[in-house]
Amino acid sequence: MESTPEKLELITKYFADFTDEQLQQLAALEGAYKDWNAKINVISRKDIDQLYIRHVLHSLSIATICNFEDGAQIIDIGTGGGFPGIPLAIFFPNVEFLLVDSIGKKITVVQEIAQAIGLKNVTAIHSRAEQIKNRTFDFAVSRAVAPLLDLWTWAAPLLKKGHASDTLANGLICLKGGDLTDEIAASKLRPHYWDLHTIFPEPLFQDKCILYVKK
């Protein structure tokens, strides 16, 4: 079995400009998740041994298409065990992330993981996105949570127009997989589409993609 430093090489192969603190935080993820996953199961046993490719690298794919500006406000809808929010918060230490999930025990894990690795730019709350009032964000991110139409219904009222990135206008960015033809048609939206396998050639990403809808 690969050691944590060897697993991190999968990340640093694609992202080379991490600080020592960021590398320490990334390295600490495996132990923190294994510890908490034994108490509250948020990642399948099969996946926990492939944390860095299945969860961390997958989450960081968003950083390949969107460079959030310092001070940007991001909401992670249906964060689950903290993906994509926690890896993105490590990658963008000067961006504020709100991670929300309707399942309280998952938020407990996210809060503990963020504290354990020293993340200062993450807030995690037990809530549904549609229950959040009097607050707006530059981007919403999500991974394998709900159909695109539902995600947009939840995200659109929370998003403000603008450009909190030098690559994309504010909007919704979601990680998806499989054949999305019917899902996109049903949404009546025209999302931008990136094939993840063209970014990360590992077989795992063969049927995965990023969708982006501009606010």
In this prediction, residue 144 carries a pLDDT of: 86
| pLDDT band for position 6 (cuts 50, 70, 90) | confident
In the chain, domain spans: 4-214
Look at residue 9 and tell me whether its pLDDT is greater than 70: yes
In this prediction, residue 2 carries a pLDDT of: 58
Q: How far is CA 47 from CA 30, 41, 44, 57, 82, in A?
A: 11, 11, 5, 13, 14
What does the pLDDT average to over 3-15?
A: 86
- Which overall architecture, per CATH, does domain 4-214 show? 3-Layer(aba) Sandwich (3.40)
Look at residue 29 and tell me whether its pLDDT is greater than 60: yes
38 or 191: which carries more pLDDT confidence?
191
What does the pLDDT average to over 128-138?
A: 94
Give residue-wise pLDDT tens across range 51-63. Answer: 999 999 999 999 9
Assess contact for 138 and 170: CB atoms under 8 A. Answer: yes
In this prediction, residue 3 carries a pLDDT of: 63
Residue 72: name the closest of 80, 63, 83, 64 by CA: 63
In this prediction, residue 1 carries a pLDDT of: 47
Share of the chain above pLDDT 90, in %: 88
DSSP type of residue 137: B
What does the pLDDT average to over 76-104?
A: 97
Look at residue 7 and tell me whether its pLDDT is greater than 90: no
Q: Which two tokens stand for residue 175?
A: 């990680």
When the pLDDT of each residue in the chain is averaged and rounded to a whole number, the result is 95
Share of the chain above pLDDT 70, in %: 98
